[in-house]
Structure 1
């Protein structure tokens, strides 16, 4: 098996360019091609990054026999179709979250991946954050005993544009889906029931676009534990990312990352720095680690860390949360799409 993974990147927006930057850091990876619907503004960027092929047709990447894997960084509504085509072309696949807005479409895409025998990793980058990985390790090694309660706080520093909100699939599918994945990852247990409350407190335009900007979701896990997630589209002090697992032998907490640990104490105040501003700063190393582990999985034929089924299960939880919000009652996961992918 080759010791170099040749990749193509589909979609050259913010996340696509971020992956290109990170892929360049990994000696075992060669970036051969990038596709986007518009490439006129990308020629200098492609040259700077030593990208051989720049095209408006992603099929050029799928038909290229030298390309081993593709990164799907295009809009969510294109993901499932491209996954199926990439699988048929025998390319390994890294796909940004969510796989789709429909659990049925995601299920069909996963079946295509399974039939083709290729690898699919979903871009839940927070699994690769060293703080959250450490908490998972403490749960796995029984350091805090049997988990009883999981608490996740995830708040953005500013709301996205209204155009983004309209196309995002909603707060549960776009934002809290990271936390749904984190809940399963940390607790190593499936979610069996979801109860959601949501409202519009940040920007009335978000409500007018059919979404919410503030939410609390409670979870029941198969192992009997409980979870609570709170999201807000605007935390004025920065990107608020905290997690806690409480068990019968203790508690494990992951706090916000800050630029320095310096704290100034005087007679007037005690001050430390604000959290890192947003996800690009907060999860810099996690983004690198996720693509590094994907490359290793492809080159050594090992399982990926975050599978298509992990993406599927997070989408099921997001769908149940939306059902709970609209119905005003808890929703058990077997009430939604039940195939386990």
Structure 2
């Protein structure tokens, strides 16, 4: 069975759920689907040859399904993971794992008790430029500081009636949609965050969302960082890591520039990759072969803890807020 694609159901067929379903995977095959608005999904499911089920419970009861892929509102993730674990279904969940650390810890504990694989969808981990940066980070010497930005115009598309336009589902503006990707890459390079200070404001978008967010980060390793994410401007991406021996920068998602202390610059450009297919295939490979998924559950929990602190700091006008991690509780 190791050479057979993992049979999966997509749960949630909004824009991102459809993107995941149509990603050109080789190790995972979507066979079933369920979503809140089944009527709207019928044509899509017919084209993709998906069996449309009426509820998540039906998905969990189906013996043909080995794994579920959750593209659902953030607040539902923890409960859905726990139910899937009880049904012995492997779970791929879109970021964030949960909005609150307690919920995320309960979900991961349920997955571990059930012996199922749980993976979180941080597709930017699969960018070749980031993978090269991660491998070569040691050459930068002690890491001192990191800066990152991920912005776009998504906020103009959301209304208060949509869950993506709801502040309870999206605290601190664009953090859950975009900024969390940069935060995850920072954690991959520097480890957990110790405390944060956040300014987040509603300025331009039609919904109630705070569309301009800026975060200062203090990492446990001693490095500092800054992160910005806007939902009301043109698309923008940057990740810049500074070390005692030089720096490395991704000015976009397909390039890497490095600099040494003597001023030597080196630029490398990478072919675009389908990071959605890559993350789903990595999930399937972990199920079939035990190959480790690049994002550990510890890192995912560290990200939830930092996100929760970022939201609290934003509510308190930027006050420095300690990140309460799983190990400190």
Q: Same fold (TM over 0.5)?
A: yes
Check whether the contact 1:155–1:239 (CA below 8 A) recurs between aligned residues: yes
- CA-based RMSD of the aligned residues comes to 2.3
Choose the corresponding residue for 2:247, options 245, 248, 251.
251
TM-score by length of 2: 0.85
Alignment partners' CA distance in 1, 2:325 and 2:134: 28
Structure 1 residues 146, 66: closer, same or farther in 2, change over 3 A? same
For each residue in 1:56-105, what CA deviation from the matched residue of structure 2 results, as whole angstroms up to 9, or x when unmatched?
Answer: 11222211222211101122232211111111111110001122222221
The match for 1:240 is: 236
Q: CA deviation at 1:198?
A: 2.4
Q: CA deviation at 1:296?
A: 1.0
Check whether the contact 2:212–2:231 (CA below 8 A) recurs between aligned residues: yes
Q: What residue ranges of structure 2 are gaps of 5+ in the alignment?
A: 255-270
Q: Where do 1:167-316 residues align within 5 Å?
A: 168-170=169-171, 171=173, 172-187=175-190, 189-203=191-205, 205-206=206-207, 209=208, 211-235=209-233, 238-256=234-252, 285-316=274-305
Alignment partners' CA distance in 2, 1:119 and 1:228: 33
Check whether the contact 1:119–1:304 (CA below 8 A) recurs between aligned residues: no
Check whether the contact 2:199–2:314 (CA below 8 A) recurs between aligned residues: yes
Check whether the contact 1:38–1:56 (CA below 8 A) recurs between aligned residues: no
Alignment partners' CA distance in 1, 2:136 and 2:250: 11
Please state whether the residue corresponding to 1:162 is helix, strand or coil: coil
The match for 1:161 is: 158
Q: Where do 1:1-341 residues align within 5 Å?
A: 1-4=1-4, 5-22=6-23, 25-51=24-50, 53-139=51-137, 142-159=138-155, 160-163=157-160, 164-166=164-166, 168-170=169-171, 171=173, 172-187=175-190, 189-203=191-205, 205-206=206-207, 209=208, 211-235=209-233, 238-256=234-252, 285-327=274-316, 328-333=318-323, 336=324, 338-339=326-327
Check whether the contact 1:120–1:304 (CA below 8 A) recurs between aligned residues: no
Check whether the contact 2:170–2:176 (CA below 8 A) recurs between aligned residues: yes
TM-score by length of 1: 0.82
Q: What residue ranges of structure 1 are gaps of 5+ in the alignment?
A: 259-281
For this pair of structures, how many residues does the alignment match? 304
